[in-house]
Amino acid sequence: MKILSVNAGSSSLKFQLYEMPEEKVLISGVFERIGIDGSLYTIKIDGEKFRKVVPLPNHAEAFRLLTEELLERKIVDDLSEIQGVGHRIVQGADLYDKSIVIDEEVLKNIEDLSPLAPLHNPAHAVGIKAAMEAIPNALQVAVFDTSFHQTMKPSEYLYALPYEWYEDYKVRRYGFHGTSHKYVSMKMNEILERNDTKLITCHIGNGGSISAVLNGKCINTSMGFTPAAGLIMGSRAGDIDSTIIPYVMDKTGMSINDINNVLNKKSGVLAISGISSDFRDIEDAAIAGNERSILACEMYANRVVDYIAKYYVQLGGCDAIVFTAGVGENSPFMRKLIIDKLAVLGIKLDEEANNERGKINKISAEDSSSLVYVIPTDEEVMIARDVLSLL
């Protein structure tokens, strides 16, 4: 049977169409820079890539072009051949600890949770509605990023805030990118040929998070109540002193919505570099000597190192650090910047191995105290597996 996995990020839309249960990929691709100048999409069929530069003002347009490609390239003769569509959903709060078939109530809950994931859940809802309209006979399934992190203890997921805020309003840390953290931690355990492991998984891209995974279960993660917490990201500030918010509101007259928009869409490396929220642009500018881009890279690496060091202590050591996602998989420059800062822990980089791309790759030196791996994430196959199980 054919199952479509859809992974809508804040500025991207990844997809893969599978023949299941063989997990054979019939077509895959990614729509990039959605809502950003220079948008484009790339698709891959039988090893051949096709690239198109097109306006992508929103995720609805990306999904429309996706269904067009499936039909025009004869991947399917009719969209009804697709029996299931799995949607990566960033925020499920504590409503869902596993994947679930989407009905009107689930869709409403996803939309109602948008204030907790303002860059993602609205995009997910648009994709779900478009998929329901385009492929009405397919089973639509929500696969939640928050599910993997439900194994955190209250001592890790609670904030030191009035306890009734948690009881009445569910204010707590949820964590995100769970499907990716779960996939790469499973892969790392396969490589190590054991499950009693201490892993630090680094999903770093335009959005980013780091997780501490003990024996296959998440015990801590850098994102919090929303995906705005933790690392510095493409356009998100990450961790800040909360009193900055009322201070700037008082000085500028900005509303809380104005501030929220700045924290999510006008901060991060975009704000520091003054160039772009895309790390490729910033890295190129840094290598060319642009001082603000160099500063953005340094700040970003420092925040990643902060969390790796914290989880190294919490885990009581580390068998392996895993890099994945856009920056983690594709930036030797940023990986070196991060790993070099971990030398005090005895973690060392194999610079020649670090320059290789596009595969599972050990990049730590032979005398490194912990292994360091690059493992390309595959959230899409995890999504397809969950859809298949529900079908």
Query: Residue 40's beta-bridge partner residues?
Result: 32, 53
Please give the Cα distance from 143 to 181 (Å, whole number): 14
Angle between helices 332-340 and 279-287 (to 10 degrees): 70
In the numeric block, which tokens belong to residue 316?
Answer: 């009581």
Looking at residue 205, the DSSP 8-state letter turns out to be S
Closest alpha carbon to 45 in 27, 30, 29, 60: 27
Q: How many CB atoms lie within 10 A of CB 108?
A: 11
Q: Is 145 part of the annotated catalytic residue set?
A: yes
CB atoms within 10 A of CB 192: 15
The catalytic residue among 78, 94, 97, 145 is 145
Q: How far is CA 53 from CA 38, 193, 376, in A?
A: 7, 43, 25
| Cα dihedral 101, 105, 110, 116 in deg (nearest 10) | -140
Contact 348, 368 (CB under 8 A): yes
Q: Which two tokens stand for residue 110?
A: 């996803």
Residues identified as active-site? 145
